[in-house]
Structure 1
Amino acid sequence: MSTYKIVLFDLDGTLSDPKVGITKSVQYALNKLGINEPNLNRLDCFIGPPLQETFSSKYGFNEHQTKLAIEFYRERFKEKGMYENTLYPQIPSLLSELKNNGVILVVATSKPTVFSNQILDYFTIRDYFKLVVGSNLDGTRSAKTEIIEYIVQQLNVSSYSDVVMIGDRMHDIIGAKNVGVDSIGVTYGYGSEDELKKCTPTYIVHHVEELRKLLVSGVMVSNEKQ
């Protein structure tokens, strides 16, 4: 019996490892704008948060530059980047087990919904999810708080204690807290344990197997409740 009735999953860094596709697409966009960044590891910060936020904060881009950067990013991402991506081991079996237990599964991501659906189709896991909610292509509804609020409204959630948000970055945890639902921070993605702990998630787990045991039976493998 699952400990939650509705489970929200972030996509990048939680269901899949999108590092190659995202960082190479960012690198491509920067190059188009005259910025050479040969080290893809320096672009890990783009995995998870809205692109508008990261282009602005990391490179000091103004609104026009940020818009151009996102347009260039999408040129490459639509053609190649979204497929330079791998599912984390055990994710399909976790989704299957949860759905078979009657849990409602939802993707809650800052990535545009249209790309998110294509990626889930590519991995053949789209059918596990009742809803896939991401940002709009014009950049609206990109904050995780807005996305979670939209989901609970769409599902007519009456008891927020039935809901949990799972993600690897502070935005996931803060969004859950702002809406009033539980959260699980996963350290196998791209947010550090320190980043997650500062936001005080309900739980922190390090592996998909730990996540499975927590979601299916409420058992913590190596961590106390935060």
Structure 2
Amino acid sequence: MKHDLLIFDLDGTISDPREGIVRSFNFALSHHRLPELAETEIAAHIGPPLDQTFIALTQNQDPAFIASLVKKYRERYAEVGYSENTLYAGIKDTLAELHSRQVRMGICTSKPVDFARQILGLFGLEAMFEFVSGGDIGIEKWQQLETLKKQFTISQHAIMIGDRAVDLTAAHKNGLQAAGVLWGYGSYEELDNEQPAYLFEQPSQLLRLIPD
């Protein structure tokens, strides 16, 4: 086997969260009497942790204000936003094929673990993954991978799969290989600049990570 475990990002890699994220962002902004933003502006920031995105969108770095925005966002996301996800075409079949071949898989997402599990459960995917690592405010993805290594949940032979530069840099900071996927929110240039071991254009190509 080329890799002993495949680690998947969630948003932009397995599911498309655009509708739920955009509506929840604007719900939080509106609650704080800030103007709602265009879908394209918010979508460009899908991937990194929520606090970083709110700082970028509001140009406000006050910790209490950002925490309040995140709290309001999560109120709507917990109620309905998570259910507004859709799976990328072909990803469920590919994951099922990997699972049928007894390929070990896990999730590492910036989302809180409860939200991640809700989304995986929504699509009947959770049983395919050995673990779900969720993030929180102040926790970077590279730190999540570092913790997984320290706990011996993953080894140096695991590979991180994601659609944004943050996924690839997190892997490289931990000495892991990374694969970029081009059906999510990161551009070819963004991902190629991080020198991933692989760049995939469609989910079925993920099968190249395992032997025939």
Residue 54 of structure 1, CA deviation:
1.2
Runs of 5+ consecutive residues of structure 2 not aligned to the other structure: none
Matches of 1:78 and 1:157, distance apart in 2: 29
Map 1:46-195 onto structure 2 (within 5 A).
Answer: 46-61=45-60, 62-136=62-136, 139-140=137-138, 142-158=139-155, 160=156, 162-195=157-190
Matches of 1:155 and 1:99, distance apart in 2: 21
Residue 156 of structure 1, CA deviation:
4.8
Matches of 2:199 and 2:17, distance apart in 1: 21
SS at match of 1:25: helix
- Alignment check: 8 A CA contact 2:5 2:154 kept: no
SS at match of 1:180: coil
Equivalent residue pairs, number? 211
Residue 69 of structure 1, CA deviation:
0.6
- Alignment check: 8 A CA contact 1:170 1:196 kept: yes
Matches of 1:205 and 1:127, distance apart in 2: 24
| Aligned match of 2:196 | 201
> Do the aligned partners of residues 60 and 164 (structure 1) sit closer, same or farther apart at CA in structure 2, a change above 3 Å counting?
same
- Alignment check: 8 A CA contact 1:6 1:164 kept: yes
Which residue identity does 1:12 align to in structure 2? Answer: D
| Aligned match of 1:19 | 18
- Alignment check: 8 A CA contact 1:5 1:102 kept: no
SS at match of 1:46: coil
Residue 216 of structure 1, CA deviation:
2.9
TM-score (norm 1): 0.88
Matches of 1:156 and 1:38, distance apart in 2: 40
| Aligned match of 1:221 | none
Residue 211 of structure 1, CA deviation:
2.2
Matches of 1:150 and 1:89, distance apart in 2: 32
The alignment's C-alpha RMSD in Å is 1.6
TM-score (norm 2): 0.93
Matches of 2:204 and 2:153, distance apart in 1: 30
> Do the aligned partners of residues 28 and 157 (structure 1) sit closer, same or farther apart at CA in structure 2, a change above 3 Å counting?
closer
- Alignment check: 8 A CA contact 2:179 2:197 kept: yes
| % identical aligned pairs | 35
- Alignment check: 8 A CA contact 2:15 2:85 kept: yes
Which residue identity does 1:183 align to in structure 2? Answer: A
Residue 168 of structure 1, CA deviation:
0.3
- Alignment check: 8 A CA contact 2:135 2:141 kept: no
Residue 20 of structure 1, CA deviation:
0.2
- Alignment check: 8 A CA contact 1:22 1:46 kept: no
Matches of 2:71 and 2:13, distance apart in 1: 25
Residue 190 of structure 1, CA deviation:
0.5
